[in-house]
A = this chain, B = another copy of it.
Amino acid sequence: MGKLVTVGEAGEAVVLERLLAALAVPASVSGVEAPLLGPGDDAAVVVAPDARVVATTDLLVEGRDFRTDWSSGADVGAKAVAQNLADVAAMGAVPTGLLLTVGAPSDTPLAWLEDLGRGVAAACSVWSTSVIGGDLSGASELLVSITALGDLQGRAPVCRSGARPGDVLALAGSVGRSAAGLALLLAGGPELAEEVAPELLAAHRRPVPPVGAGPAAAAAGATAMLDVSDGLGVDGARLAAASRVHLDVDADWEDQHVLDLLVAARRLGGDDDPWGYGLVRSWVRGGGEDHALLATFPAGVAARGLPEPFVRIGEVLPVRSGWPAVTVNGDDEVVGGWDVYA
């Protein structure tokens, strides 16, 4: 079998065998409870002790969501897991299992799929979950789709619609780091990114969202929450619209948050923006894919202390007609975002 180099040469049975081997994490290492019924039957069976199940799905497409010359198979696998678990966490749930679908052209190296499997397994291990099933298909481009399931542990789901004026606006995790890493890649490829800011390149390749902070926020009484996948401006506006409130971000928090992005911004700023302040602000306000959790908490909860690692970044105000949904210090509009068909 050592000579099989593409998935087309290997055939479906061998690809499945190799992928399952790459996905397997010894229970003694991961500490993960095995699914009641994992890959190999028509469907998987996992526990749902709460008698409700949280379910979310995301598709990554080669050339749109990742490039194989910029990210390894393991990077792509880890990122796909991270962004789905961030969605589970944003409801206040803990992950219980993943379904993994991979579409691949027949000339895809078998090693790439095995590397993908190892990246998925590594991310699963970090967050104590596992792949319980999935699907393999041929395709014209590489596709990686994950469905994540979660358990609410008896709590109400934390929706986008529960924020109230007077609540504190808080963030767990970072914004703008993935966007900064991507900007370096676009400007000079992995070589430039590695030279200037390897930690920002890593943040783009393998974001590490604060998955545990989601259930902690729910337990602490968060009134609304979502994960920042499309940018603080766009996702903040979604929360604001669903809750019919206005969000105001502290300029002081923003100034602090941009510090470790300046090294990249100064390199890329150009003549119009020699210190890179414009770039840094665009990354912090418009950059997605770090999958930070944006949540709102009653002021009383915040006064007693936000659950780690949440920090206060602003406040929830009444809707003001004709104003943008999200502002910084009651002033500038925060905008950004991403259209999947653009």
On A, residues with C-beta under 8 Å from B are 7-8, 10-13, 15, 36-37, 40-59, 61, 63-65, 86-88, 90-91, 93, 97, 99, 101, 103-104, 106, 132-141, 143, 145, 147-150, 152, 157, 159-160, 225-227, 242, 339-342
Contact = CB atoms under 8 A, between A and B. Distances in A.
Given A57-B145, A145-B145, 9 more contacts: A11-B339, A11-B342, A37-B157, A42-B88, A43-B157, A44-B56, A47-B53, A63-B140, A137-B340
Nearest to A36: B52
- Interface centre among A64, A138, A141, A147, by most chain B C-beta atoms within 10 angstroms, is A147
A150 B63 CA distance: 34
A53 B45 contact: yes
A309 to B, nearest CB: 19
Given A101-B145, A143-B59, A340 B136 contact: yes
A140 B138 contact: no
A52 B45 contact: yes
18 contacts: A37-B157, A41-B157, A41-B226, A43-B91, A44-B54, A45-B157, A46-B55, A48-B48, A50-B51, A53-B53, A56-B133, A57-B134, A59-B103, A61-B137, A61-B139, A106-B341, A138-B341, A138-B342
A48 B57 contact: no
Given A59-B137, A137-B64, A341-B11, A43 B52 contact: no
Contact of A52 (B46, B55, B64, B103): B46
Given A41-B159, A48-B48, A140-B140, A149 B53 contact: yes
Please name the 8 residue pairs, one residue from A and one from B, whose CB atoms are nearest each other, closest first.
A43-B56, A48-B48, A42-B90, A42-B87, A147-B147, A48-B53, A57-B99, A8-B341
